[in-house]
Structure 1
Amino acid sequence: MVKRLFFCLFMWGMCSGLSAQILEGPLPFFRSFLDGNLTKITFPEPNEPGASGWDSKGNYKRKNRAAESVWGLQLTEGKEEIGAFYLPEYIFSTEDGLLIEFEYIMMYTNVGEAGVTDGICMFLVDATTNEYIGANLKYGAEGAGFGYTHRRSAHTDIRYGVTSITGIKGGYLAVALDQGHFKNWRFDNYEMRNGIPYGSAGIANIQSETYNTRSNVTIRGAAGRDEKVITTSQKTHRIQDGRWGFPVLITRHTGWNEKTGLEDPYSDGLRNKAGFRLNTQTGEYEQYVTPRIDKPFCIAGGKEFHHSGESAYRKAIIALEPNIVGGGFRITVTIQHETEKTVVIEDYTYPSSLQYTENGLPFQLVAGEYPTVVYYSNPPQTELALERPSKLVIGFMASTGQLTAYTNIIRNLRITPLYGASSEDDIYDHRRGPVIVRPLDNDVAYQLGGDRPNASYDNLDLTSFRMWIDEKHCLGNGVFEYEEEGVGKWKYDPESGEMMFFPEKGVGGEVVIWYDVKGKHTPYAEEKYRSSLAKIVINLIDDEG
């Protein structure tokens, strides 16, 4: 028998007359985004909906473009688009931490295009009150802002095509699959945004243009709260809530070279040179390239895929661990490319206060036939202080710029408490006839011990196994048998952890059942630490002659 772990499209018919529990609500969360199930998912509107001009039909360009597709939840397809969604009913306590996993497709919409684009980000928003969520959650600047940050523009007339935009108010953190712009300092007549300055003469803390790479993982911090007062030698500036903050905290290049297509895997290349981290005490960026990346890869797979054995396969794994000393989180970001998992950012500590350079000070527009702008080439540093909120809500966005039509898709989204049980999909090839498999062998639960809880299969409570018909319908606790007419019978053994399947005569192809499980040790035996859904797929093939 060959066991293959990969993504698989399938159809599963429900048994007529079956009475199953319908469970939704608190974490864990799982959606494939392949079955049309978009319940309890909200698609927010933009701040300043007209801030980027008009489309050819006389409508505002700034709209939420998220829509279903056969490949998952498609966030963007064209130019100057944002697709955004968040999960308002899946608020989580920051005391537990969080593990976020999702597959993603990033590719040029038109094969002939090769312009600059942006990417996908996961964001967190303060959910302690309703001040920033519900109808109050609105996304920010498109393009390099990824919908998360603010943007300061020198143009106040919409006819110029670009005006200032408020970022996500109450935003706490954004982790981006960054094709190059989310990390960058922007400074011209059209756009000013905080970030890392590369190669611009006269700018403080400048970094070599060589390190201004595409294909990165980039993390930005919190939105500025309330009004910010910044005093310079010229005047005192008052900047409103959502129009300051969002500093770049850390960025790492993954090693892909846009000129050659791939760096030499036997040399360091830029993947172990092009990385920077904000010194939260001095407010300046310092080169930071830990851990080593031994195998270069592009953050975008570049085309659709079905399973992890394909070169285009991409999966993001984001771990947020509460930082007991000093607040914030310790953040680890891993990208799976094909079957290999590469840690790009490891144990980055997000503090509760920091210094950074605010590149969004109000400017002076000097009137004339061609208005000119007087602005600060070296704006001052300021403090951003924010204790980790006790509750956060999670969302996702993708963004494209002016030059490139790009398709961004998310699917198979799993969200669990950081030390919740972890379940992996299990896909088997098997000859026709009765089947016995062990789906939990690649799953783990946690037990307290040492500095951090320990993960092991031995920590699983085999009796906590629950079968699901599909993503919404659970058979309930202690129900270990399920039969579907015309397909076959599933039977789980809670003592051995084995799953048996008895197909009806003549049944072939794929048969599927879903499951979840949890740990047996306190506190991880609690329901909130139950795994997200995983599936068992058995591909019944004809006997070889």
Structure 2
Amino acid sequence: METPKYMMKKIFFLLLVLLGMRDGVSAQSSHLMPFFRSFLDGDMENVKLFESNQIEASGRKADNTYKRANQAKPVKNLGLRLTQGKEEVGAFYLPDYIFSTKDGLLIEFEYIMMYTNPSEKGLTDGICMFLVDATTNQYIGDNLKYGAEGAGFGYTHRASVHQSINKGVLPITGMKGGYLAVALDQGNFKNWRMEDYEMRNGIPYDDNLTTIANAQPLKYNTRSNVTIRGAAGRGKKTITTQQNTHEVPEGSWGFPVLITRHTGWSITGGLEDEHSNGLRNEAGFELNTTSGQYERHVAPRIDKPFNISGGGVFSHSDESTYRKAIIALEPNDNGGGFKITVTIQHGTEKTIVIENYTYPSSLSYAENSLPIRIAGGSPPKPIWYTNPPVTNLTLTTPQRLCIGFMASTGQLTAHTNIIKNLRITPLYGARAEDDIYEHRRGPATVRPLDNDVAYRGEGSTPNAGKDNLNPRSFRIWKNDKECLGSEVFVYEAPNEGKWVYNPELAEMMFFPVKGFKGEVSIMYDVKGKYAPYDDELFRSSLAKIVIHIDDNQP
């Protein structure tokens, strides 16, 4: 009997875990998925901060210098704060969790985006998840450096204009070896830049559609987007224009915008009418990988508008400011790479913004990082390329990848970007969701597995369902470091009460101590009951049960 395709993937992954330590890079991969880190207790084990390319590069003016040093800092009970002020970059990666591109991954993280000064309303940048080539040590470890601040999100390069008018601005190399960046983009990560200090490829917006090749109407230059950029160019690139032949170094070309979607936050700063179509189902673009031009792409439909930024601190998903990014990377059997789906949870609702985008194996795009000619005058002015050359980029799929995160802010707005409760699991690992129960009186009985799923292999694609879970695999965690172990179903929380789990009924009971009122919580994980998803590899990441006890008296 033929082994199903999905089964072959899982067998390959298990063999990779067992045998992969033999090559140079896999020696770093000593930790298995799932990964969970709350960042609420300041723990940074297996989490590494890294520094920038061109640490000496100034800001947009000689007297206006960016803080190019990494600003990431864990803040107790808040999360890993990446930025707080203007002109900052914060970045981290997970050097001990190298994974194969033949494996699928599910990446989930809660994030806080808010103006540091509530009175500010200016455009800022955002947060991105990136993948970098970890096949060898060429691009990771001490060689991993982030790129340009601001609209570059630390991922892309910044190409300066001619030296005679660069106003003290230095070019900045992008993230060499970068393979993919998925950005929670507040406006600029998708944009084509051609100003008096920098150039960067992307989507041009102009109401005069003849001014710039492939320009899109200015109304579509929206805030609040999900944007995906592709890989850095490898090695030097020779690009010929009508004026000259240019040798562009590695890290200074590539990083094309592949696809972007607007979520419904208008450029004037307000939500669209949820009952109207609005720009959320108009402002979306995908790169035509053959022509190098951008074409409208607005599927799937977004029925309810939301801001990519929650705008405030939150504790639980039932708050309007709650935000979580869910990024699914499914291996693409035809051509390598991934099929990418990005879902944003805003409050209790989940919206798919980008669905099954197939990462291309090669593409053409307009490269906008070339030196420009200078016109006369005092001071001299640049003559802009209005039709930058289309060049080719081959996106060879690395054998192994490393994952990291960055945030950046621009020169006008102080913005706080925070990540917490980061979960990374195999794509077909069990999924455990947080459970929040309010206003309970006395002893409480809850069913935490009712909104969880595990997978079962039926046909070419595994199917998810609650009935695929093994309730007896339920494990209680006192916190994200201390697990009670298998088959231990009772835990007494000091000064709060007793937790008792019934595996036969899949119910958790909580008995508060006399006089206790307030919020209690416990963490758990679970896995499936059908092979191969009953393996520990496919155990869920941690989820939380939260119960608010109003009155523990009968």
Task: Identify whether the pair has TM-score above 0.5, normalized to the shorter chain.
Answer: yes
SS at match of 1:277: strand
Match of 1:50 among 34, 56, 65: 56
SS at match of 2:151: helix
Q: Is the 8 A contact 1:105 1:300 kept in 2?
A: yes
Matched, 1:520 2:520: no
Question: How far does residue 241 in structure 1 lie from its aligned partner after superposition?
Answer: 1.1
Match of 1:143 among 119, 139, 150: 150
Q: Is the 8 A contact 1:157 1:163 kept in 2?
A: no
Letter in 1 for 2:235: D
- Tell me: CA distance 1:331–1:431, structure 2 relative to 1, closer, same or farther (3 Å): closer
Q: Deviations over 1:213-243 (max 9, x none)?
A: 1111111001111111112233321111111
Matched, 1:329 2:338: yes
Tell me the residue number matched to 2:121.
114
Tell me the residue number matched to 2:7.
none
Question: How far does residue 304 in structure 1 lie from its aligned partner after superposition?
Answer: 2.0
Match of 2:171 among 156, 159, 164: 164
Question: How far does residue 57 in structure 1 lie from its aligned partner after superposition?
Answer: 11
Q: Is the 8 A contact 1:46 1:62 kept in 2?
A: yes
Matched, 1:193 2:200: yes
SS at match of 2:280: coil
SS at match of 1:74: strand
Q: Is the 8 A contact 1:481 1:489 kept in 2?
A: yes
Match of 1:80 among 75, 87, 90: 87
Q: Deviations over 1:310-368 (max 9, x none)?
A: 22222111111111112121111111122221111111111111111111123356899
Q: Is the 8 A contact 1:363 1:374 kept in 2?
A: yes
Matched, 1:467 2:471: no
Q: Is the 8 A contact 2:373 2:383 kept in 1?
A: yes
Q: Distance in 1 between matches of 2:338 and 2:138?
A: 22
Tell me the residue number matched to 1:308.
317
> Structure 1 residues 134-143 or 65-74, which shifts more?
65-74
- Structure 1: which 5+ runs fail to align? 1-23
Matched, 1:67 2:73: yes
Q: Distance in 1 between matches of 2:136 and 2:504?
A: 45
Question: How far does residue 528 in structure 1 lie from its aligned partner after superposition?
Answer: 1.7
- Tell me: CA distance 1:506–1:57, structure 2 relative to 1, closer, same or farther (3 Å): farther
Question: How far does residue 60 in structure 1 lie from its aligned partner after superposition?
Answer: 6.7
Match of 2:107 among 91, 100, 107: 100
Q: Distance in 1 between matches of 2:366 and 2:83?
A: 31
Q: Deviations over 1:68-102 (max 9, x none)?
A: 23422111111111111111112222222111111
Question: How far does residue 399 in structure 1 lie from its aligned partner after superposition?
Answer: 0.9
- Structure 2: which 5+ runs fail to align? 1-29
- Tell me: CA distance 1:159–1:335, structure 2 relative to 1, closer, same or farther (3 Å): same
Q: Distance in 2 between matches of 1:238 and 1:264?
A: 49
- Tell me: CA distance 1:112–1:437, structure 2 relative to 1, closer, same or farther (3 Å): closer
Q: Distance in 2 between matches of 1:112 and 1:485?
A: 42
Q: Is the 8 A contact 2:442 2:551 kept in 1?
A: no
Q: Is the 8 A contact 2:62 2:168 kept in 1?
A: no
Q: Distance in 2 between matches of 1:523 and 1:270?
A: 44
- Tell me: CA distance 1:515–1:92, structure 2 relative to 1, closer, same or farther (3 Å): same
SS at match of 1:144: helix
Q: Is the 8 A contact 1:243 1:360 kept in 2?
A: yes
Q: How many residues align?
A: 522
Match of 1:263 among 265, 268, 272: 272
Tell me the residue number matched to 2:413.
404
Tell me the residue number matched to 1:458.
467
Q: Distance in 1 between matches of 2:126 and 2:535?
A: 37
Tell me the residue number matched to 1:38.
44
Letter in 1 for 2:549: L
Q: Distance in 1 between matches of 2:496 and 2:508?
A: 16
SS at match of 2:537: helix
Q: Deviations over 1:432-480 (max 9, x none)?
A: 6544332212111011223421101111122222221211122223333
Letter in 2 for 1:290: A
Tell me the residue number matched to 2:21.
none
Match of 1:90 among 88, 94, 97: 97
Question: How far does residue 172 in structure 1 lie from its aligned partner after superposition?
Answer: 0.7
Q: Deviations over 1:500-521 (max 9, x none)?
A: 3344444443333211111122
Q: Is the 8 A contact 2:148 2:157 kept in 1?
A: yes
- Tell me: CA distance 1:285–1:256, structure 2 relative to 1, closer, same or farther (3 Å): same
- Tell me: CA distance 1:205–1:258, structure 2 relative to 1, closer, same or farther (3 Å): closer
Q: TM-score, normalised by structure 2?
A: 0.88
Match of 1:387 among 396, 403, 420: 396
Matched, 1:359 2:368: yes
Question: How far does residue 543 in structure 1 lie from its aligned partner after superposition?
Answer: 5.1
Q: Is the 8 A contact 1:155 1:163 kept in 2?
A: no
Question: How far does residue 369 in structure 1 lie from its aligned partner after superposition?
Answer: 6.1
Letter in 1 for 2:79: G
> Structure 1 residues 430-439 or 290-299, which shifts more?
430-439
Letter in 2 for 1:52: S
> Structure 1 residues 90-99 or 359-368, which shifts more?
359-368
Matched, 1:449 2:449: no
SS at match of 1:463: helix
Tell me the residue number matched to 1:26.
32
Question: How far does residue 158 in structure 1 lie from its aligned partner after superposition?
Answer: 11
Question: How far does residue 303 in structure 1 lie from its aligned partner after superposition?
Answer: 2.0
Q: Distance in 2 between matches of 1:432 and 1:95?
A: 49
